Amino acid sequence: MRFLLSLIIPFSLSVLAQADSDPKAATASLFVARDAFYADVSKFRAGDLSEEQLVQRIAEQFIPLIDDRKIALRVMGRFARQATEDQRKKFTVRLQSSLVDTYARGLAAYGGERLVLPEEAMILRTGRARVEAKLESPGKDPLPIQFALGYDEKRGWIVENVVIAGINLGLTLRNQFADLVRTSGSVDGAINAWTLSVGGSG
């Protein structure tokens, strides 16, 4: 799962396109992000990028594109309303850091998987789309992946959620935060204990 997350994270940050109802525009930058990921992997494995350089590259290229506040508030769920502004800012930073860390660690698990994307997205309504993709792994059955996209006037198409083989990533992270609040006894405790954990090493 770590590699899968490392592949999904860049797509979940910002998918830029032009038209809010063009099925090809909705998938165009998914292809760009996918190819950029594989190029980075190749450079990393060839020794042209160190792990530290790769993490820095991801931070510089992808993190500025994240609507990190919105993502953090969604993960915090109902607890976002209870949190102070300082707590929300603190969790935003921790979530951002955990995304980059997961990306870097996931590279070690890369085993030649390929993300297969359709040429066009399914436009549900103006500004909303779904992309049905699959991850092909050597010697394994393809893994279905569904991207839920929304259109932002300033940034274009943005992946708002991902469902991996029926597992809703956004809901999983929200449940994880709620569990941390329950076990730690407070929103502060959940923020301090947060790490991105949605699967094992496979």
Quickly state the pLDDT bin for 201 (edges 50, 70, 90): very low
Give the angle subtended at the CA of 82 by the CAs of 128 and 155, to the nearest 5°: 30
Q: 149 with 121: CB under 8 angstroms?
A: yes
The reply to whether 48 falls in a domain is: yes
Top pLDDT among 191 and 71 is at 191
CA–CA separation, 41 and 34 (whole Å): 11
Condensed to tens digits (0 to 9), the pLDDT of residues 82-113 reads 999 999 999 988 988 887 777 666 665 667 78
Task: Judge whether residue 14 has pLDDT over 60.
Answer: no
Name the percent of the chain lying above pLDDT 70: 78
Q: Max CA-CA distance within the chain?
A: 49
Query: CA of 50: how far to CAs of 10, 40, 54, 59, in Å?
Result: 19, 11, 6, 14
How many structural domains comprise the chain?
1
Top pLDDT among 8 and 143 is at 143
CA–CA separation, 194 and 106 (whole Å): 18
Quickly state the pLDDT bin for 15 (edges 50, 70, 90): low
The pTM of the full predicted model, rounded to 2 decimals, is 0.77
The reply to whether 201 falls in a domain is: no
Residue 78's domain is classified under what CATH number? 3.10.450.710
Tokens of 63: 């993190």
Domain that holds residue 7: 2-193
Task: Judge whether residue 5 has pLDDT over 80.
Answer: no
The reply to whether 108 falls in a domain is: yes
Token pair 């992808």: residue: 62
